[in-house]
Amino acid sequence: MNDDLHVDIELDATGLNCPMPLLKLKQQLNKMQVGQVLRVRTSDGGSVRDFQAFVDQVGHGLLHHESNDSEFVFIIKKQR
């Protein structure tokens, strides 16, 4: 991951099962200003598909995604 990337807000959705990580993401994005960057951590593998589809549909920017055995990290920029 690019260590120079500025993250404004952290959201920990680990331990939550579908659809809660996506709901928490939507709630957090609604509170944010356009241009702010959010880092979300989840432990639900379904988040990979759900988050990608959501940001594509709504028009936010998925700047980065990484995963390991038990955690998925997303960096999302609020676009609108």
Measuring CA to CA, which residue among 68, 73, 54 is closest to residue 2?
73
- Active-site residue identified among 18, 32, 37, 62: 18
Strand partners, 77: 37, 61
Question: Can 18 be counted among the known catalytic residues?
Answer: yes
Tokens of 26: 């939507």
Residues annotated as part of the active site: 18
